[in-house]
Structure 1
Amino acid sequence: MVQGWSRYLTPTPVQRRLGLACLGAGHKLELDPCPPRVLRSHAAVLVVDGEGWLEWGESRRRVAITAPSLFWLFPGVRHSYGPDGPGWQEVWTLFEGPAVDAYEELGYLSRTEPVVPLTDPFPARTAMDHLLAACRGEYARAEVEAAHAVHTLILGVQDQRDDRRDDLVLAALRENACRPWSVAEHARRAGLSVSALRRVVRRDGGCSPKEYLLRIRLNRAKELLAESELTVAEVGRRVGHDDPAYFSRLFTRRTGMAPRDFRAQEQRPRTS
């Protein structure tokens, strides 16, 4: 037995080009288990009150859920879930699109650990409330606002999973990115193995440590080109590249324009 309401959306092709489409949402008091099923889209279920369980995958792995918690459901993965005792209050949403696949690749949605206990449920609940309001609004921007709320939900839930120690590691990489250190040296100074550093950076930065450091160097080079009078060679040295020709080739390859062209585009005349 279910008590509640639901709304479904049919985004236009143009709205789908935004990369993430919300297909619907609802709020209900769930009294009975959801029977085994397979979805064609991603879903999120926020358990606001109560406790129960989620079962998923070929192995039928089962985990207990206690509110406040959120769990992700994945397309093509057989699952079932339900409350224990008198039922639970839940808010749910369906969504899909290439941006969702990217979030999954970045580790924001985990197929192996889909249940996220919420130490602070406010961000997830606020995002869900905005999503529900958009779905019930029936106005021209409803699909776009609902998609935006799903983005906010994913980011808010990820904040619950983030390890603050990871933040310290990434902060040290940013601070020391322009030093002539190898990835192994960065790992040693962080007190990690190279493989552990790779896991941290992949989880939070979505790339390898080498790529992460290069992105920081390029970002700082852009700032110096736009805001200083340093020569291109001096900018290259400031960000860890002593060979100006190599720096210019690297900058051009990664940004699509030469350092001098970037400076001409971004630098503004200075007023005395």
Structure 2
Amino acid sequence: MTKYMDYMISSHPIRVFNPMVDSSRQKVKSLRLVNAGHLPGRTLQRSRAKFNNWAFVMITGGSGYYQVEGGEMQQVEAGSWFCLFPDAVFNYGPHADGYWDEYYYTVDGGRIAEWLEQWLPNPCQVKKAAFDDSLIHRMEMMFMLIDSGAPTNLDRAALMLESFLYDLASQPDRREAGNRERFVLKVIEDLSQSLHTPLEPAQMAARHHISVSTLRRIVHDYTGYPLNEFLHRLRVAEARNILLNTELTVKEVGDALGYKDTFYFSRVFKRITGLSPRSYRNRGGQ
């Protein structure tokens, strides 16, 4: 590692890692770390910059801009990352009188083509990430491996970078999946809490701003039951609790759960539990 001051770049010490390793001693041939660095408090702006290799730049503080081939001038905030690559012209850097904290990793190898084909989002777009302490630690670990000078550690750092970038690229998918799961649980919970005030599927769907078909799909995917069957099972589970803990008649229990036809309620109850409501109560739920 080289650590030095360059006031044209930053008023803070800069760390630059240039591994001096014979590439023939590395076992990972499809991905090679060319160099890496940490530029805290960077103020340098680049205009019409060109690059021979791919570089991945993570911004952990400050703000600025990023432009590819004279296209849209994109805003860069803390928690952003972007790509620099060959055969393109870039303008980027902190805003005038501003700064940003930058980590970067420059790589080469055929593996990058696979990233672009399979999972790396549009390389011309600034991407968002949540650079928490664990991600900062992973970047520092890559620096340590690079700085060791051991070919095997440089291989490890390259593979760690691949895993790191994959995790960054998949963060939006994981957030979307988490949001989707929370929404599904909210719908299921709403259905469970609406047993004593039964709603038509259209009313329930409208409460969550979805179509009835989407509501049916959510319930089936989550529970394995069609919507109506799931509702029957929820109501029967509640009916079992009421029968064992109150003196309400079978008719009153059915009415409370939206079954206006006592015979139909009893038939549904027996189909699911194997016992009629009266037998279930008499046998203490056994």
Letter in 1 for 2:75: A
Name the counterpart of 1:202: none
Please give the residue correspondences for 1:48-197 in structure 2 after superposition, counting only pairs within 5 Å: 48-57=60-69, 59-84=70-95, 85-113=97-125, 115-122=126-133, 124-162=135-173
How far apart are residue 102 of structure 1 and its match? 0.2
SS in structure 1 of the partner of residue 144 of structure 2 = helix
Letter in structure 2 aligned against 1:71: F
> What is the CA-CA distance between 1:27 and the residue it aligns to?
0.5
Q: For the residues of structure 1 that align with 2:175 and 2:128, how far apart are their CA atoms?
A: 16
Pair 1:42-2:54 in alignment: yes
From 20, 23, 26, the counterpart of 1:12 = 23
Partners of 1:31 and 1:165 lie apart in 2 by: 34
- For the Cα contact (< 8 Å) 1:22–1:147, is it kept in 2? yes
Displaced runs of 4 or more, over 6 A: none
With 80-89 and 134-143 compared, the bigger mean Cα shift is at 134-143
1:149-205 Cα distance to aligned partner (Å, 9 max, x none): 21122112112232666798xxxxxxxxxxxxxxxxxxxxx98xxxxxxxxxxxxxx
CA 1:104 to 1:27, structure 2 compared with 1: closer, same or farther past 3 Å? Answer: same
CA apart distance, 1:69 = 1.3
**How many angstroms does 1:109 deviate by?**
4.2
Change (3 A) 1:68 1:142: same
Does the Cα contact within 8 Å between 1:120 and 1:160 map onto a contact in 2? no
Give the 3 Å change call, closer, same or farther, for CA 78–149 of structure 1 in structure 2: same
Residue pairs, 1:244-259, within 5 angstroms: none
Contact 2:60 2:131 in 1 (8 A): no
How many residue pairs were aligned?
Answer: 169
Q: Counterpart in 2 of 1:23?
A: 34
Task: Verify the 8 A CA contact 2:64 2:98 in the aligned structure 1.
Answer: no
- Scaled by the length of structure 1, the TM-score of the pair is 0.55
How big is each residue's C-alpha offset from its partner over 1:71-103, in whole Å with a ceiling of 9 and x where there is no partner? 111221111211123311111110121111100
Change in CA separation of 1:60 and 1:165 when aligned onto 2, cut-off 3 Å: closer
Change (3 A) 1:14 1:76: farther
**CA displacement, residues 35-66 of structure 1 (integer Å, 9 cap, x when unaligned):** 32111111111111100011112x33210011
Check whether the contact 2:50–2:90 (CA below 8 A) recurs between aligned residues: yes
- In structure 2, list runs of 5 or more residues that go unmatched: 1-7, 181-212, 215-286
Mark the CA change 1:155 to 1:124 in structure 2 (over 3 Å): closer, same or farther.
farther
- One-letter amino acid of the counterpart of residue 51, structure 1: S
Deviations 1:115-149 (A, max 9, x none): 11113545543332122112222234332122122
* CA–CA distance in structure 2, aligned partners of residues 145 and 54 of structure 1: 30
Instruction: Provide closer, same or farther for how the CA distance between residues 87 and 131 of structure 1 changes in structure 2, counting only shifts above 3 A.
Output: same
Question: How far is the alpha carbon of 1:34 from its aligned partner?
Answer: 2.0
Aligned mates of 2:163, 2:60 — CA distance in 1: 18
Structure-2 change in CA distance of 1:139 and 1:154 (3 Å): same
